[in-house]
Amino acid sequence: MMPNAPRRYAPLLALLALPVMAQQDTSTAQITVNGKKAIADDPRNIVTARSRVLSRKLGSSCNFMSSYSANDDDVTLRYMRDFNLDDSMSNPSERIDEASPLGNVAKITDATSVEDPAPATDAMAPAVKCGNNDLNFAAGRNRIERKDKSMAQALAALDREDYTAALALFNTAYTKLGTDEAALMLGKMHLHGLGTPKDPAQARTWLLKIIDMRYHPVEDRLVFDPAYPELMNARVEAAMLLAKMAMAGIGGPRSAGEAARWYGKAADYGFVPATTMLGMAALSGFGGPKNAARARDLFREAAEAGYVPAQYQLGQLYNDGAPGIAQDYRQAGAWFTAAAKAGHAGALYGAARMVDLGHGVAADPQRALALYKQAAVKGQPDAESALATYFYEGQLVKQDYATARQLFNAAATQGQADAMFNLAVMLAEGQGGTKDVAMAYVWLNLAKSSGHASAGAALKELAPGLTAQDKARADAILKPAAPR
């Protein structure tokens, strides 16, 4: 009995890295509120756009509907931040003083007035200045924010695992400032039962508070960095947590459609890995009907943003073809190459197979071997199995049963069916190591369960030669006794 020549290809799904929380600062300096001292780097000098209260684009009035101004352009404001001009006279943005946000109070006829400026003569003309409500609120919030230490204290309590204190302090931080970071931490603590009994319903309530906050599609959108694809802000993480809760049935019934909806939210917020997840959902019919064309478009969007797993998935889709998607080796090769350059193991294997079989390119066995090696080093099971075949058959490399057996074993332990079968053959024959009929029987059974076409016939051939001891040892692995 000789090993089958392993198939050097099997469809793979790219594994997305679990997201971790990181907050990006995408705020824009638009109106500066000064404390009592206008000193450079004074912590009391803050950019209120970071509080999402007095930004001209987010404020309840405050030029919310005003026309374009170069002084408020994102490029201008980022330039000012880069050269530390936020709190200088070079900053033409409107400025107010915390102690007297409405100006010289001696000149105000009614000091208690909170009325907004009188409307323009043209009823359709937007306001051109911030209203008194905005100014007073910004000044009050600035004072609270520069004095408040509850968020820092909450994080410190969390670090020392004093969850009861952390929960109370996060509540205080949210009550004072209403930040999405505090709401996110409260949602997580209720979800995991830290400092309070597990309460998925309460966790969901806190996460929804973040989703329901006012959102600007440009300023609040996450800026994706392909070098750190797992980074997300509080709004994105809230959407991803809600998606996971829906998938696992936490706090409600399992719902693929609900999970896909929240992944869509995360994608809308700029989280490119969520766009890739939506593509995979469309390809598999998760949470909705199968739609290969939509999957292609979503993969392409994420791939063009530089997300490597999406580049691989797009290459795989063009390599295999799908209903409505013609097989296109040229496109497949291009996207496999893009992902392979970033070190993606599946893409390295995909490129190796195309070069090996001459799909879309001239066949090049030496180049294929090099690519298989690169993928195998990264633990890609199909590549390990393919490389093992080279060593078993002596193709382009010196025949080496011991190395072939090691590679088949590495791939088999990851569920590669051809490797399971071939490892069983080598164990049964004692090739590359000690003969072990019992383990050969085990691996043939596992190969059969994985759908290997030849495993059933091989089992019938091998079974009569097993001793009672071999059978008992194999059964102990395949049918372990239930724990008492």
Higher pLDDT, 130 or 442: 442
Annotated domain spans of the chain: 32-211
d(CA 383, CA 374): 9
pLDDT at 9 over 60: no
pLDDT in tens, 369-378: 999 999 999 9
pLDDT score at 82? 67
pLDDT score at 141? 77
Average pLDDT (51-74) is 47
Chain mean pLDDT for the chain: 82
Least confident of 88-92, 151-155, 210-214, 340-344: 88-92
Contact 158, 165 (CB under 8 A): no
pLDDT in tens, 107-130: 655 555 545 444 445 544 444 456
Average pLDDT (416-439) is 97
Distances (CA, A) of 349 to 14, 273, 379, 423: 12, 22, 11, 21
pLDDT score at 13? 24
pLDDT score at 140? 80
pLDDT score at 104? 67
Average pLDDT (9-19) is 26
- The owner of tokens 């912590």 is 43
pLDDT score at 33? 38
d(CA 455, CA 438): 15
pLDDT score at 62? 54
d(CA 193, CA 104): 51
| pTM metric for this prediction | 0.76
pLDDT at 212 over 50: yes
Contact 157, 123 (CB under 8 A): no
Average pLDDT (288-300) is 97
pLDDT band at 106 (very low <50, low <70, confident <90, very high): low
pLDDT in tens, 216-266: 787 789 999 999 999 999 999 999 999 999 999 999 999 999 999 999 999
pLDDT score at 72? 55
Higher pLDDT, 374 or 42: 374
Average pLDDT (199-220) is 90
- The owner of tokens 């079974």 is 463
3-state secondary structure of 275: helix
Contact 425, 440 (CB under 8 A): yes
Show the DSSP H helices in 178-255 as ranges.
Answer: 180-192, 200-211, 234-248
